[in-house]
Amino acid sequence: MNYNTLFQQIKQKRSFLCVGLDSDIAKIPAHLLETEDPVFQFNKAIIDATAPVTVAYKPNIAFYESRGVAGWRSLEKTIAYLRDSYPDIFTIADAKRGDIGNTSQMYAKAFLDTMQFDSITVAPYMGEDSVTPFLEYNGKWVILLALTSNKGAFDFQFFEEEGVKLYEKVLTKSQEWAGKEQMMYVVGATKAEMLAGIRKIVPDHFLLVPGVGAQGGSLEEVARYGMNSRCGLLVNSSRGIIFADKGADFARRAGEEAAKLQREMEQLLQTYRVI
């Protein structure tokens, strides 16, 4: 999916919501555990209930990998379902991979080719040749970690050389590898005011913003500091939507929570004159 198609989706749905499929089998409704693939059934129901207001889905790969072969199968079925039933929705493999060239190539093949995700999150520590193999697939995206939303972000991301912080260096340096048509950045919502500075370095790029909801960030602040004329934001919510209710009613409740966020987003898109 290209930059403009993604923007069209945002305008059409009046939403920049990404739903995180952190589908922990220990937390999904009990009645699903009797089905052959409970996690896929859960995802399918969540997707169907939230798709009208959602522009991106982001399976968190750890939650699948932790279940071995069975988890991998749930993941493959989920992405196939998304591709077949909702081909216009952007898909993100939240995998945070990154390794030497021949190894990143293998990860790229797994997520972007075999499973056909639109994008994958990548960790920057190993530099250019760990990232560029993911850029070799036409129309696919790298979403590079810049400033994450967790406490440990302060350990290294704020390391500073001559007034430039490491996360700023990541933003600058990586623009040599790809432009706004193939690269996005992860920027945590818990540090929303820093989005203003980040927008000076990457004014046009899309930013994937986790940490709204369970991780404590404010949607309004994210929009105030981070929105650009093409929206430029995908804001993720995981637990607040998918585990809004843990009973038989989980899908309807997820749809409601997603719709609530969409209404806030629509307002913000209007406030900042994107739509």
109 tagged catalytic: no
54 is an interface residue for a copy of itself by CB under 8 A:
no
197 is an interface residue for a copy of itself by CB under 8 A:
no
159 is an interface residue for a copy of itself by CB under 8 A:
yes
78 is an interface residue for a copy of itself by CB under 8 A:
no
Nearest CB to a copy of itself, comparing residues 9 and 60: 60
Q: List the structure tokens of 101.
A: 């060239």
**CA–CA separation, 157 vs 224, rounded Å?**
23
**CA–CA separation, 275 vs 266, rounded Å?**
8
Q: At 127, which helix (H) or strand (E)?
A: none
**CA–CA separation, 11 vs 257, rounded Å?**
20
Per-residue burial over 204-219, b = 16 or more CB atoms within 10 Å of its CB, e = otherwise: ebbbbbbbbbebebeb
69 is an interface residue for a copy of itself by CB under 8 A:
yes
Nearest CB to a copy of itself, comparing residues 155 and 273: 155
Nearest CB to a copy of itself, comparing residues 65 and 249: 65
Choose which of 38, 59, 124, 240 interacts with a copy of itself (CB under 8 A): 124
Q: Is the CB of residue 206 less than 8 Å from the CB of residue 5?
A: no
247 is an interface residue for a copy of itself by CB under 8 A:
no
**CA–CA separation, 146 vs 157, rounded Å?**
8
83 is an interface residue for a copy of itself by CB under 8 A:
no
**CA–CA separation, 228 vs 241, rounded Å?**
26
Catalytic, out of 44, 77, 96, 173: 96
Residues with a known catalytic role: 96
Which chain residues interact with a copy of itself by CB under 8 A? 22, 24, 60, 62-63, 65-69, 72-73, 76, 94, 96-104, 106-107, 109-110, 114-115, 123-131, 145, 148-157, 159-161, 166, 169-170, 173, 215
